[in-house]
Homo-oligomer: A and B are copies of this chain.
Amino acid sequence: MIPIDPDRFLQDLDRLRAFGAAGVGRGVVRPAYSAADIAARDWLVEQIRDSGLTPHVDPMGSVFGLADAPVSLLIGSHSDSQPEGGWLDGALGVIAGLEIARAARTSGGPPVSVVSFQDEEGRFGVTTGSAAWVGDLDRSTLDGLTDPAGVTLGDARAALGERCGAWLDPARFSGFLEMHIEQGPVLDRAREAAGVVTAIVGIRDCVITFSGAQNHAGTTPMAERRDAFQALSAFNTALNARLSNIVTPATVWTIGHVAVHPGAHSIVPGRAQFSMQWRDAELSRLDAMEAVIRDVADGVARSGGFGLEIGPVFSVAPVAMDAGLRRALCDAAETEQPGRWRDMPSGALHDASNLSGAMPSAMLFVPSIDGISHDFAEHTEPEDLVAGLRILARAADQIARGG
């Protein structure tokens, strides 16, 4: 076994939290390429060097700590945060990777490297640093990406100065393990220690618009109305009923944004525009749900005389985790926490989504108290953090030894 040091791991998590500390609970403000983010990465480079690993910063600013071997197992996540973020999120996976890589190095264990990807939180896109590394983003156009304030990635990267080296060849890693907080309530509610991720769900997302007739809310009898908000409500009610037949308990769908036009108390809405997003680990179920969504929307439009527009469907395919790496995580979880772990999909995207195209990849979840994440209140009990570290280290040992 790799001789991890849980106290050092928890101390380093606390030290990382000092970079961009929000001053509100344990919250951090460490968006990609901010001064706090770059300082945190400089600190990480120091820890890597002190451990006898070789630091390397790639052109995006992702920080690697490389084992002294032609091929090694990569463990990590990201240390940038949302504009208002929690202290664990990606930081947990980075420090877990650091602890396992340095413990393996010091003890003469199997070769393990660590990584903190840049801009997982998507200031300039979606999981930008890992996507650029594995080639899912065209590297020649990276510098033209802009954040919501209009800053280009080229300008943001300029703050890195002389830190950056070349792109690493992904082939120097035999696989990728990422530990992360669940960011949902499932493990916490069940009082379980860990989740072994089966797949990162696919996402479909579009904007739907019902058009009716804008009318005076006093003089237009109910029977004469084509009220676009009523169309939305009827769609939502019918959709919930229809989807219940084809989903699993892990499937989710959400109407998160609603705009009713013109939006006055005394005017019957003439237009209702809303977001429709659905997520599932199975491509076939995403397809089936899309067919139901289109059919229900068509039905509401036809029966009520509404115009219907379904915008372009943004689509991210589900990504199954590597079977061999998953098995190692399951074995380790059962050894460390017998009966206190489960298989589960990830409802959120992670760097492992991108990595799985380049190498065998798998993920381990630890509980999020009350499912809270992307919030200063995000937290996990230290014993659960350490339990996760032990499972990850055990699995990494087995995998890196080629077990």
Contacts and interface: CB of A to CB of B under 8 A. Distances in A.
Interface in A246-272: 247, 249-258, 260, 263-269
A371 interface: yes
A224 B254 contact: no
Contact of A254 (B189, B247, B265, B279): B265
Contacts of A227: 254
A229 interface: yes
A203 interface: yes
A218 B252 contact: yes
Contact of A348 (B219, B223, B236, B346): B219
A296 B269 CA distance: 22
Interface in A16-58: none
Interface in A202-231: 203, 205, 215-224, 227, 229-230
A233 interface: yes
Contact of A183 (B186, B189, B216, B260): B216
B216 A184 contact: yes
Interface in A162-185: 182-185
B267 A263 contact: no
Nearest to A268: B254
A218 B348 contact: yes
A233 B230 CA distance: 9
Q: How many copies does the complex hold?
A: 2
A356 interface: no
A269 B252 contact: no
A277 interface: yes
A237 B240 CA distance: 13
Interface residues of A, number: 57
Contacts of A252: 217-218, 220-222
A217 B257 contact: no
Contact of A219 (B229, B260, B269, B371): B371
Q: Which of A234, A254, A268, A346 has the most CB of B within 10 A?
A: A254
Contacts of A242: none
Given A256-B269, A266-B254, A267-B256, A371 B215 contact: yes
A277 B217 contact: yes
B229 A258 contact: yes
Contact of A216 (B203, B251, B348): B348
Contacts of A349: 218
A218 B347 contact: yes
A182 B263 contact: no
A380 interface: no
Contact of A266 (B232, B263, B269, B277): B277
Interface in A331-371: 346-349, 371
A157 interface: no
A185 to B, nearest CB: 5
A279 B201 CA distance: 47
Nearest to A257: B263
Interface of A: 182-186, 189, 201, 203, 205, 215-224, 227, 229-230, 232-234, 236-237, 240, 247, 249-258, 260, 263-269, 275, 277, 279, 346-349, 371, 373-374
Given A217-B256, A220-B347, 10 more contacts: A217-B252, A220-B371, A221-B249, A221-B250, A224-B371, A227-B254, A233-B237, A256-B264, A257-B260, A257-B263
21 contacts: A183-B216, A183-B219, A184-B224, A215-B371, A216-B347, A216-B374, A218-B252, A218-B347, A219-B347, A219-B348, A220-B252, A222-B253, A223-B249, A229-B236, A229-B255, A230-B236, A237-B237, A254-B267, A254-B268, A256-B264, A258-B258
